[in-house]
Every structure is written in structure tokens, then in C-alpha cells.
Amino acid sequence: MKKRLLAILLVAALVVVLAAGCNGAGSQPDRQPGDPARAMFITQAMSNASQAFSWSEFQRLMGDFNIEMSVAAGENEVAVEIEGIERAIAERYDVIFINPSNIDAVVPALTRAREAGIIIGMFSSELAQEHQHIRHFFAGSDDFEGGRLAGQFVSARFPDGANVVEVGGQAGHDAQIKRHDGFRAGIADNIIIIDSQNAPGGWNAHEARGIMEDFLITHGDAIDIVWCHWDHGASAVIEAAQAAGRDDIFIIGVDGNATGYRQVMEGTQALSVGQSFTNMAHQSLQNARILLDGGNVPEVNIIPMDMVTIENVHDLPFPDW
């Protein structure tokens, strides 16, 4: 009887050990608070200035949280992002921070990563609501709110109404979708969007200039406002407008980077809806460390945005990206 009881206890202990190996956040179940960890930053393109800067900030801040980081980035090739997720699984990484080029395409791979015990942090881009159970947290700006505020801004500046053309970034990108929808939610009824086009290559300034040139040919003097989804794209829009002798167009961009700030200071850009990728990186690393150490974090971490205009641009800290 004693031998049978001992056998039962040994089997139960083995079951507990095996279960512990498949449970919890991170890929090392015997982790102690503060232990070193490995994270991978997976993003759509390093040619995107915001993502190159984000990677530099992750590298600068990672030591504060005892997290070693590597990066996987393609030129808007979702296959590269999926390959990065699969590598993180195979090499038993603890954390993935991801800003994908297509939020839906990475869902199956992220599901496998979550099942492997990897902490999933969405960076700047959020998963669709039906997939948010896959990630542990989101850290980023509220792009819908940023778009809505931009819509309200132009509505206040054009109380008698105006015509808008929209130069979007990458189709299918979370930020692109939310900025598009938010702007429409924020504009008054007499602010009319007469044309809208996304950059085929995704956040490509050269393509943004081509789109604006086409708009100027098609719509000419009917254009009052350009709603451009990123500040470097706004630079190209400004160049196209100036070449056509249209210095009077009210141009809006998103990012709040050094280019956007300079253009606001020069008066060529009316508004830059600013984001803080430094704060996003810090919040992401902090959340990961708390989860690694057995704590809990909010699922949604919104990093506030700045409405950068000629009235306040000199009072805000100049961005270093």
C-alpha cells in the first residue's frame, strides 16, 4: 500500500513539473525576478524612420531592464516578420515586441508564439479586437484619436468648409486604418474628402509626392487641405505643392519627428500629430520585465500624442529622430 501511494505521489509530482514547463509568461518557467531575458523587436522596415529610431531606443533602454534584444525587420515583407516570430519560438526567446506591416497576416505565428510561452507585446500597432487575446499588452499611441483630433483641428480652422485629399501610408497597417477612420470621425459635415490614396510601397515619400502630383492634376485649385499620414510623406507633399505654385494648401502630417517639427516651424506644415516612440519602448520593456517577474500589467497602454502647431512648437522638446 505504501509503495502504491509513493508511486502515485511521484506521478503527481512529475505532472506538476511538466505542467510548469508549459505554463506562465516567458519561455523559462524557473525564472527568478530580475533574471536576464531575451526579446526580439519585429517591425516592418528600418527604412521607416520611426522604426529605426524605436530600435535605437530599445537598445539604449534594454539594459535598465536586464533584457537583451535582437531585431527582425524587412522592407514591408510580412514573410520576414513571420520568419522572425518563428525564429523567436525556435530559439526560445522570452519576449516579442512587434509592429507588423499587416496585423492579420501575423496572427497564426503569434498564436504559436503565445502557446510557446513567449510574452507578446504589440508595439505601436494593435491587433484586431478578435485577436487581442493573443497578445499580453499593447503599448502605443491611439491612432484613431490622433486622426480624430486632426479632423477636429481642420474643422475649427475651416468653419465655412473645405476640400481634403488624403495621402495614406501602407494599406492594411493598423496605424493607417485607424488614422483614416479617426479623421473621418473628427471632421465636420462641411469638410469634404474629395480623394484618397495609399502609398503602394508603404510609407514611401517618393510615392507620396507622386500621389500629390496626381491629385493636383485631377483636382487643382479645389484642394484646400492635405491629410498625410506621416511627416516624411508630408515633406514630399509640400514639395509637390510648391512645384505647382500651391503654397496656400493646409498640410497635416503625423509622427512629430524632427522633419515634422521643422516644417511646422517653417510654416509649410500646419500640424504634426506627434508620437513618442521613446515612451513606447520604455513602456514595452517595463511591461515585459513586470510580466517576466510574475506581475501583472494593463493590457492597453496608451502613450499620449502632441498636437504640434506653430503656436506651441517652440515650447515642446525638439524630437531626436
Q: What is the pLDDT of residues 23-50, one digit of tens each?
A: 345 556 677 899 999 999 999 889 888 8
Q: Which residue ranges make up each domain of the chain? A: 22-140+277-302, 143-274
Q: Cβ of 60: how many Cβ atoms within 10 Å?
A: 12
Say what the pLDDT of residue 280 is: 96
Say what the pLDDT of residue 28 is: 60
Q: What is the 3-state secondary structure (H, E, C) of the chain?
A: CHHHHHHHHHHHHHHHHHHHHCCCCCCCCCCCCCCCEEEEEEECCCCCHHHHHHHHHHHHHHHHHCEEEEEEECCCCHHHHHHHHHHHHHCCCCEEEEECCCCCCCHHHHHHHHHCCCEEEEECCCCCHHHCCCCCEEEECCHHHHHHHHHHHHHHHCCCCEEEEEEECCCCCHHHHHHHHHHHHHCCCCEEEEEEEECCCCCCHHHHHHHHHHHHHHHHHHCCEEEECCHHHHHHHHHHHHHCCCCCCEEEEEECCHHHHHHHHHCCCCEEEECCHHHHHHHHHHHHHHHHCCCCCCCEEECCCEEECCCCCCCCCCCCC
Say what the pLDDT of residue 26 is: 57
22-140+277-302 and 143-274 share one fold: yes
CATH class of 143-274: alpha beta
Q: How far apart are CA 107 and CA 96, in angstroms?
A: 13
Q: Cβ of 161: how many Cβ atoms within 10 Å?
A: 12
Q: What is the pLDDT of residues 104-121, one digit of tens each?
A: 999 999 999 999 999 999
Say what the pLDDT of residue 248 is: 96
Q: What is the pLDDT of residues 254-302, one digit of tens each?
A: 999 999 999 999 999 999 999 999 999 999 999 999 999 999 999 999 9
> Can you give the pLDDT of all 321 residues of the chain as single tens digits?
444 444 433 333 333 333 333 334 555 667 789 999 999 999 988 988 889 999 999 999 999 999 999 999 988 899 999 999 999 999 999 999 999 989 999 999 999 999 999 999 999 999 999 999 999 999 999 999 999 999 999 999 999 999 999 999 988 888 899 999 999 999 999 999 999 999 998 899 999 999 999 999 999 999 999 999 999 999 999 999 999 999 999 999 999 999 999 999 999 999 999 999 999 999 999 999 999 999 999 999 999 999 999 999 999 989 988
Burial class (CB in 10 A: 0-12, 13-18, 19+), 51: buried
Does domain 22-140+277-302 fall under CATH 2.60.40.420? My reply is: no
